[in-house]
Amino acid sequence: MQILKRYDENTNRSNYFFLDVFSMNQHDFADLGTPRDSLALRDMYDTMLEALTQSIKVPGCMLLALTPHDRPKMLTRSWCLYEIYIAWKVKAEVSCGFIPEAEEAMKRSLTKDDRFIRRLLNTIDAEASAATVKTDRDMILQLIHSAGIQRFNSFVREKLRNSLRVVALTTLREVEGERTDSEVPSPRSEASEPATRSA
Q: How many residues does the chain have?
A: 199
The answer to whether the beta carbons of residues 128 and 189 sit under 8 Å apart is no
Average pLDDT over residues 73-84: 88
Average pLDDT, the chain: 76
Distance from chain centroid for Cα 38: 35
pLDDT digits (tens, 9 = 90+) for 153-193: 998 888 878 877 776 676 667 666 666 655 555 545 444 44
pLDDT of amino acid 43: 76
Residue 104 identity (one-letter amino acid) = E
Question: What is the reported pTM?
Answer: 0.69
pLDDT band at 198 (very low <50, low <70, confident <90, very high): very low
Q: Whole-angstrom distance between the N-terminal and C-terminal Cα of the chain?
A: 68
Average pLDDT over residues 90-96: 88
Give the Cα-Cα-Cα angle 27, 28, 29 (nearest 5 degrees): 90
Please give the residue that has the higher pLDDT: either 39 or 197.
39
Please give the residue that has the higher pLDDT: either 111 or 86.
86
Return the exposure string of 49-78: e unless at least 16 CB atoms fall within 10 Å of the residue's CB, then b. Answer: beebeebbeeeeebbbbbbebeebeebbbb
As a whole number of angstroms, the distance between CA 152 and CA 198 comes to: 72
Please give the residue that has the higher pLDDT: either 198 or 146.
146
pLDDT digits (tens, 9 = 90+) for 3-34: 888 888 878 889 888 887 776 666 555 555 55
pLDDT of amino acid 57: 92
Enumerate helices (H) and strands (E) in the chain, giving the number of each: 9, 2
Please give the residue that has the higher pLDDT: either 48 or 37.
48
